[in-house]
């Protein structure tokens, strides 16, 4: 078995025993990237020499002793570029580590490179990148999902043992589903956002992409915990997520929301998900029907709240302190020319939408009303969890679509996240795991849990994974 095909836990154990060195594992991974990334285009930035130097200095006693991990190009890593896949941040080198990145280092991880993404995490296909489009390893004519498409594609193509991404409306779970790997969105406040370039501050959350659920549990344990540098970080103890995996699902109540099995959904996707639900029943879980009645409003609510917060957050990119500067006749002209040249069309679209929603005369009609409906969506989940322990849905209504297929129709693109957005609005946790194939492409299964109940979500996912073999399938490149 080639080293680059190992899981994080497998590789860590081999490094600890001395069977394999961190340098050997890192070199194997770099060789794999050199062989296939010309096709996949998962990475924006690599520094082979730096990665190997980190490997030589890696400690063997950490939770991630000597294991290389890829980082989405939206998280600051000291000494590395952080472009958010945007021209406006060209030349910017991060002067500090994000808290999640610092915790990876402390656990012994090797930070191997920067993965491609939709610009400023705005997109569902990784086509909105100034670095070019990442391709789905299962079919290079198709998209890998987004906005963390580079991280998902890297893990699926064995170009990364694991990767970090960010999830604002499904940007971890959706690409994980479309690329056939595991993607976890933790509860809002579980993982510090310090050092994550903000898109929508009340929705963003950092999480891992991995090859299996055990690795996801391990990485979540490493990056979680209270951080005084993030005012939204919640001071709660971090459980042993790996130990929780073995509890099984006997007696567990699995909720099926009728609003997530909709007309127009791909029949093969629905069939794969329903087969997975029967698998849980065979393991002793109980399936109950539930309702999340405000689901239909989630996309509209999300695209008001997220764009409003983006319009405020992205005001800091003005060409004055860092990044691109296009000189104008005066300060205002410089701002306009810099932002006009630096931002892509999707980012401009969302800034305009958000600024409009926050403007005088429209704030109450749009932004404030969206926040009120957001509360109703959260209450839907609270009522549902009185009847069940976890909620299971498809992660996406269809498999990966062709590159360019939806880029001319923003509304169709926005609907790609229809099953994932509500989790962010409610601030709860969810994971996507592989559950089969439709049209020879991966299908993702979403497991949603209560706030700070990642343990139950992960053990539910692990029980299913252990009873099936979908997570072992790999694309041929």
Q: Which residues are catalytic?
A: 72, 147, 171
DSSP 251-279: T-EEEEEGGGS-TTS-HHHHHHHHHHHHH
User: What span, in angstroms and rounded, lies between the C-alpha atoms of 255 and 270?
Assistant: 16
User: What span, in angstroms and rounded, lies between the C-alpha atoms of 243 and 144?
Assistant: 32
Element (H, E) at 445: strand 441-449
Which long-range contacts (C-beta less than 8 Å, at least 24 apart) are formed by 465-468?
A: 465/212, 465/213, 465/433, 467/279, 467/282, 467/283, 468/276, 468/279, 468/435
To the nearest 10°, report the CA torsion of 134, 140, 142, 144.
-40
Phi, psi (deg, nearest 5) at residue 72: -60, 140
Tokens 């998902």 belong to residue: 152
Strands (E), 25-129: 43-46, 68-72, 110-115
User: What span, in angstroms and rounded, lies between the C-alpha atoms of 51 and 113?
Assistant: 8
Tokens 């590395």 belong to residue: 80
User: What span, in angstroms and rounded, lies between the C-alpha atoms of 137 and 41?
Assistant: 10
Q: How far is CA 264 from the centre of its chain?
A: 25
Of 69, 87, 31, 64, give the one whose Cα is nearest residue 344: 87
């Amino acid at each position: 078995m080639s080293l680059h095909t190992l899981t994080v836990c497998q590789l860590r154990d081999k490094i600890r025993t001395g069977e394999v060195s961190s340098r050997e594992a890192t070199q194997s991974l770099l060789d794999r990237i050199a062989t296939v990334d010309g096709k996949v285009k998962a990475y924006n930035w690599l520094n082979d020499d730096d990665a190997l130097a980190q490997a030589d200095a890696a400690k063997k006693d950490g939770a991630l002793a000597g294991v290389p991990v890829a980082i989405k190009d939206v998280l600051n890593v000291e000494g590395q570029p952080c472009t958010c896949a945007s021209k406006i941040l060209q030349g910017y080198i991060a002067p500090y580590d994000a808290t999640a990145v610092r915790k990876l280092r402390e656990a012994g991880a090797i930070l191997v490179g920067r993965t491609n993404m939709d610009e400023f995490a705005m997109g569902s296909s990784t086509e909105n990148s100034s670095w070019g489009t990442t391709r789905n390893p299962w079919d290079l004519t198709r998209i890998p999902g987004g906005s963390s498409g580079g991280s998902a594609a890297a893990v699926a193509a064995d170009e990364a043992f694991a990767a970090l991404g960010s999830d604002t409306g499904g940007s971890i779970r959706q690409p994980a589903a479309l690329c056939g790997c595991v993607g976890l969105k933790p509860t809002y406040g579980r993982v510090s956002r310090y050092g994550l370039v903000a898109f929508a501050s009340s929705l963003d959350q950092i999480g891992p992409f991995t090859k299996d659920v055990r690795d996801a549990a391990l990485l979540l344990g490493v990056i979680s915990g209270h951080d005084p540098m993030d005012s939204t970080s919640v001071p709660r103890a971090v459980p042993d997520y790996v130990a929780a995996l073995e509890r099984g699902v006997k007696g567990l109540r699995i909720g099926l929301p009728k609003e997530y099995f909709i007309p127009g959904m791909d029949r093969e996707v629905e069939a794969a998900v329903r087969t997975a639900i029967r698998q849980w029943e065979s393991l002793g879980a109980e399936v109950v029907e539930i309702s999340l009645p405000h689901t239909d409003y989630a996309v509209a609510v999300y695209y008001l709240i997220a764009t409003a917060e983006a319009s405020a957050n992205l005001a800091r990119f003005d060409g004055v302190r860092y990044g691109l500067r296009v000189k104008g006749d005066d300060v205002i002209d410089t701002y306009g020319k810099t932002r006009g040249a630096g931002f892509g069309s999707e980012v401009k679209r969302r800034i305009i939408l958000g600024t409009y929603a926050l403007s005088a005369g429209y704030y109450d009609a749009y932004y404030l009303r969206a926040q009120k409906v957001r509360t109703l969506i959260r209450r839907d989940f609270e009522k549902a969890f009185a009847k069940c322990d976890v909620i299971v849905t498809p992660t996406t209504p269809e498999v990966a679509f062709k590159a360019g297929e939806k880029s001319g129709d923003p509304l169709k693109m926005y609907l790609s996240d229809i099953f994932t957005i509500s989790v962010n609005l409610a601030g709860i946790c969810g994971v996507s795991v592989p559950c089969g194939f439709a049209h020879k492409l991966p299908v993702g299964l979403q497991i949603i849990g209560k706030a700070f109940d990642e343990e139950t979500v992960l053990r539910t996912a692990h029980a299913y994974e252990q009873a099936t073999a979908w997570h072992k399938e790999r694309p041929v490149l």
